Amino acid sequence: MFSLLRLLYFVVCGAATISLLSVFQKYIMDWSMAAQGFVVPCVLGSIAGGVFYIYTVCCNRQKKVEKLLAARENQLETVLSSGPVGIGVVVNRVFHEVNDFFCEMTGYSKVELLGSSSRLVYPSDEDNDYVSKCKYSQIKETGAGSVETRFRHKDGTILHIILSSKPLDRNDLSKGVTFTAVNISKRKEAEKSLSRRIVFEHFVSEVASDFLNMSVGEIDAGLTKALGDVCKFTRVGRAYIFLMRGKSSVCDNTHEWCAESIEPQIHNLQNIDLKNPNTLLWETIAKRQAYYIPDVSALPENLPDKEVLRVQDIWSVLIEPMFFNDELVGFVGFDSVCEHRQWSDEDIDILSLFSNNLTLVLERKKVQEKIRAAKQEAERANAAKSEFLANMSHEIRTPLNGIMGMLQLLQMSGLNSQQEENHNFAMESCKRLTSLLSDILDVTMIESGHLQIMKTDFDLPEALDSIHALFKPVAIQKNIDLQFNVPNNLPSKLVGDSNRLHQIFNNLIGNALKFTNEGSVLVEAYPLRKPQDGNHKILFSVSDSGIGIEDDKLQSIFNSFTQVDASRARNYEGAGLGLAIVKKLLELMGGGLSLVSEVNVGTTIYFYLDFKEVGETASLISNSRLYEVDSIRKMNVLVAEDEKVNQLTLKKFVERQGCSVIVANDGSEVVDILNTPYEGFDLIFMDIQMPKMGGLEVTSRIRAGELGESVKEIPIIACTAYATAGDKEEFLSAGMNDYLAKPTHMEDVKNILVKYSKL
């Protein structure tokens, strides 16, 4: 192209010189006819000098232009050959000029490219047509075009290209376009790799987050699913987890996922010692390095790993070690079965992240299993403790029932004043022991979560009156003024656990009287707000003028077995369970409490509870069941009791109310007696724990009609030293009608006889 320009320049200069010489020749001829002698030679000399001068100037200018063109040509050649850009000229989709880099980029020589169709470098006609369409559309609008496309290298490799074009003549595209081609394949590959890494990392993050809400029982299935998800994402056939046995080199295949048609290996890979024989796998993962074999067939024949992998049809394998607190706990493996698989460094990094996540999941599982085992052990210990205390309560209550029964019978025999005083002291000791047993059982039930709050209809003012009546004799004996302040606007008919309310007041008022030597004890109750939808919140308080509590003991006074004075020389007896039970009962009942105390001034304990108001219909039904009885009709009563003292006590209590009694020593005797023709029984007092046949089994047979229809509906009263609320519910659900706890009081027996004599 540049040689052509230089040739044109020489032609123009030569033509100009010839024209000039022709003009001078004409003038010379004209002058030669007009002049003679000396003038002619002078003119000719001058003309010849001028022509020579002009010729010299033209030659100098020609040389300068040639140098400039050569320099520009060298510069352009340098730019075209040194830049990492393919450059060329295309006319009507045919290569007319290309630089060396374009040849290197496409793999074709200049000879192959020049004169060839541009389709040569495109992977398909569609790519070529698309580029032409976009390029020419852009050129038409803006004078230049740029498009991202694909080239196909001579060896078949697909290249990603940014192709820019500009026409030689914007008004006539047929004259051709110049183009530049930039290879962006590496950038595209980096973008693809980055995008895949982001997706993979997000996937691994989601897999890890799935474990956060899993229970211990769900983790194993979750691990297998996670292995399958990774296999599907990375397109490998098998993934697995091996866990080490402690700090040894022995491991077990604990989790595995296989694609269809791939045989599982988990059952064959148990109790594997990685050091016997010494494997490359062990040497690698022990150093915290990934074990990556892209081609198993290339492993040395004497390497133990090769045979292990070969028999499993593994062609490529990647294994990531799992470390926790610098200890190898296992490894995660990915097998490519029946085909080779190349893992990139990015893939290996991400799978390392995945294995780290699995390590944390497995360690979390271990911790949770330890916690669960510890919890189960604690529950077993607590259950054993509860069972022990329940059995001890039963064993203590049984003889205690005999003692208290005999004391009550003794009182009926007519005692002198000294005997009456001794009797009262003995009864008081029995009551204290009974109260202690009840408190211990309540604490055990609360701690085990088995204590139930029962909601029944009751009259709050009446309940407070009964509590007042219970403690009034004690207050009079200690010369303490016991006052109950119950306002008129206090709701009466409520739904709640009146027995637990009694228990709370018994503990609080009992403590107030115990720690008050003189002065008063005041019990108050106030509605905290107007009823809302039949709900009442009531504030209670128990105040005393007793010894008070020191500030440093206020926080611990509600702990079990904690006393205000724990010294050996303390003046007040007790196990330190009362306030602990009060606090836990209030929590179970949805209430709360607070305490204000000053040493040598007194203590006030406030507590509140929520109650529901009894509906009108319920009140009528409840009231319809209330009755008063002046006397008990004569009934035939069967007493089933294996303890002789308890037999005698209960028999005497019942006979004192005018009833006749027959005694059975165990459950089998009850069956025999009921099967014997007899005028019939009106009531059965049934001990729960008896030899040969227990009370629950006998009751079940009676209710099933096995002993005849005549006794199928007979009232059965459970008599037992098992004294928890849960026991009572169990007995009632078994078909018994009522419950009498040991130690048995004659007044309780009388109330039972009164109740069932009217049925």
Phi, psi (deg, nearest 5) at residue 37: 70, -130
Q: What is the pLDDT of residue 617?
A: 39
Least confident of 44-53, 224-233, 243-252, 599-608: 44-53
- Helices assigned H by DSSP within 413-514: 417-448, 460-477, 498-514
Instruction: Name the percent of the chain lying above pLDDT 90.
Output: 25
Can you tell me the distance from the alpha carbon of 155 to that of 105, in angstroms, rounded to the nearest whole number?
11
Amino acid at residue number 301: E
Two tokens, residue 538: 């009531």
Confidence grade of residue 23 (pLDDT, cut at 50, 70, 90):
very low
3-state SS class at 387: helix
Can you tell me the distance from the alpha carbon of 566 to that of 431, in angstroms, rounded to the nearest whole number?
23
Domain assignments of the chain as residue spans, ordered by start: 2-79, 83-183, 195-372, 452-624, 636-757
Q: What is the pLDDT of residue 621?
A: 36
Confidence grade of residue 55 (pLDDT, cut at 50, 70, 90):
low
| Residue that wins the pLDDT comparison between 31 and 466 | 466
- pLDDT one-digit tens code per residue, 515-558: 899 999 999 999 987 777 778 899 999 999 998 888 877 776 77
Domain 195-372: CATH superfamily, name plus number: GAF domain (3.30.450.40)
Please give the CATH topology (third level) of the domain spanning 83-183: Beta-Lactamase (3.30.450)
Answer yes or no: is pLDDT of 616 > 80.
no
Question: CATH classification of 636-757 is 3.30.750.80, yes or no?
Answer: no
pLDDT mean over 642-669: 91
Q: What is the pLDDT of residue 618?
A: 41
Kindly report the average pLDDT of the chain as a whole number.
Answer: 81
Q: 59-70 as b/e, with b when 16 or more CB fall inside 10 Å?
A: eeebeeeeeeee
Answer yes or no: is pLDDT of 247 > 80.
yes
Asked if 501 and 463 touch (Cβ cutoff 8 Å), the reply is yes
- pLDDT one-digit tens code per residue, 366-388: 888 888 889 888 888 877 877 77
Of 640, 554, 637, 567, the C-alpha closest to 599 is: 554
Q: What is the pLDDT of residue 69?
A: 62
Two tokens, residue 450: 């088995």
Q: What is the pLDDT of residue 265?
A: 87
Q: What is the pLDDT of residue 684?
A: 95
Of 664, 653, 651, 655, the C-alpha closest to 634 is: 655
The size of the chain, in residues, is 759
Of 389, 394, 403, 322, the C-alpha closest to 357 is: 322
Q: What is the pLDDT of residue 620?
A: 35
Q: What is the pLDDT of residue 372?
A: 85
Least confident of 30-34, 620-624, 648-652: 620-624
Q: What is the pLDDT of residue 528?
A: 86
pTM above 0.75, yes or no: no
pLDDT mean over 339-364: 82
Q: What is the pLDDT of residue 73?
A: 54
Answer yes or no: is pLDDT of 32 > 50.
no
Cα angle value 504/508/512 (rounded, 5°) = 165
Reported in sequence order, the residue ranges of 515-572 that DSSP labels E, i.e. its strands, are: 520-527, 535-544
pLDDT mean over 82-94: 85
- pLDDT one-digit tens code per residue, 191-231: 887 887 788 778 777 877 787 778 888 888 888 988 888 88
pLDDT mean over 75-95: 75
Answer yes or no: is pLDDT of 421 > 70.
yes
Q: What is the pLDDT of residue 28?
A: 44
Can you tell me the distance from the alpha carbon of 651 to that of 633, in angstroms, rounded to the nearest whole number?
16
Q: What is the pLDDT of residue 584?
A: 87
494 pairs with which residues across the strands? Answer: 458, 613
HEC letters along 287-352: CCCCEEECCHHHCCCCCHHHHHHHCCCEEEEEEEEEEECCEEEEEEEEEEECCCCCCCHHHHHHHH
Distances (CA, A) of 565 to 496, 548, 557: 34, 11, 10
Two tokens, residue 31: 């002058």
Distances (CA, A) of 274 to 235, 256, 316, 322: 27, 19, 19, 15
Domains 195-372 and 452-624 share a fold: no
Answer yes or no: is pLDDT of 681 > 50.
yes
Q: How many CA atoms lie within 13 A of 642 on its CB side?
A: 16
Answer yes or no: is pLDDT of 596 > 50.
yes
- pLDDT one-digit tens code per residue, 89-136: 999 889 999 999 999 999 999 999 999 998 999 999 888 888 888 877
- pLDDT one-digit tens code per residue, 141-181: 788 888 889 999 999 999 999 999 888 887 887 888 899 99
| Residue that wins the pLDDT comparison between 88 and 407 | 88
Confidence grade of residue 46 (pLDDT, cut at 50, 70, 90):
low
Asked if 244 and 251 touch (Cβ cutoff 8 Å), the reply is yes
Please give the CATH topology (third level) of the domain spanning 452-624: Heat Shock Protein 90 (3.30.565)
- Rank 434-448, 490-504, 570-584, 620-634 by mean pLDDT and report only the highest: 490-504
